[in-house]
Amino acid sequence: MSETFGAIIVAAGAGRRMQGADKLFSMVAGRPLLAHAVSAFEACWDVSRIALVMSDANIEQGRQLVEFESWTKVVAICTGGARRQDSVHCGLQNIGHCDWVAIHDGGRPLLRPGMVSRGWEAARETGAAIPVLPLVDTVKEVDSGFVVGTLDRSRYVAVQTPQVFRYGLLLRAHHEITVDVTDDAAMVEMLGVRVKTYDGRARNIKITTPEDLTLAEAYLG
């Protein structure tokens, strides 16, 4: 029996740096930003089911978008929690059975289906994989406004999504790890599991400011 692969798209954030605009439904290349992220998973033949995690204020608009786009793989639209990890947990509880799951930021509209497949392939080694990019800028440690050290950037990477995990492994991490984290990989690392890396994509940017919307429009155009 073949393994099943699901995707949880986390779109419940407040977008505090967007100057009052709701980035998820901002129009980019003629479509709401969120539509681009979901469509990448809808088009990925590996993925069989998708859960959308949204803020309570956007749930109805999310349902309307799913209906308008005629997405067939979206099986759940649920309300997120106070923290990002709480929102992911909501998605895990609502997506239904799957052997593997990809966690993706709804604010990353430039994902391509091939990157999803690469993540799944990489995750098979240890049960967890994340996309990374090498750092190009010098990285310094600062304290109270002063430089206290320069880090070896060859040992550091920038992390993107989608992050891919065995469903059972990620669910266990969410049950056992309660401290605040910035991504799901950190929770799995705390279980002692080695997280595999795979090549990210420079254009797979996360929209956090109005200027990022302009950049995404340029890329998609």
Phi-psi region of 93 (alpha: psi -120 to 50; beta: other; left: phi over 0): alpha
What's the farthest any 2 CA atoms get from each other in the chain? 58
- The angle, 0 to 180 degrees and rounded to 10, between the axes of the packed helices 33-42 and 59-69 is 50
Is 2's pLDDT higher than 90?
A: no
User: What's the pTM?
Assistant: 0.94
Render pLDDT for 164-203 as a digit per residue (tens, 0 to 9).
999 999 999 999 999 999 999 999 999 999 999 999 999 9
Render pLDDT for 38-94 as a digit per residue (tens, 0 to 9).
999 999 999 999 999 999 999 999 999 999 999 999 999 999 999 999 999 999 999
Rounded mean pLDDT of the chain? 94
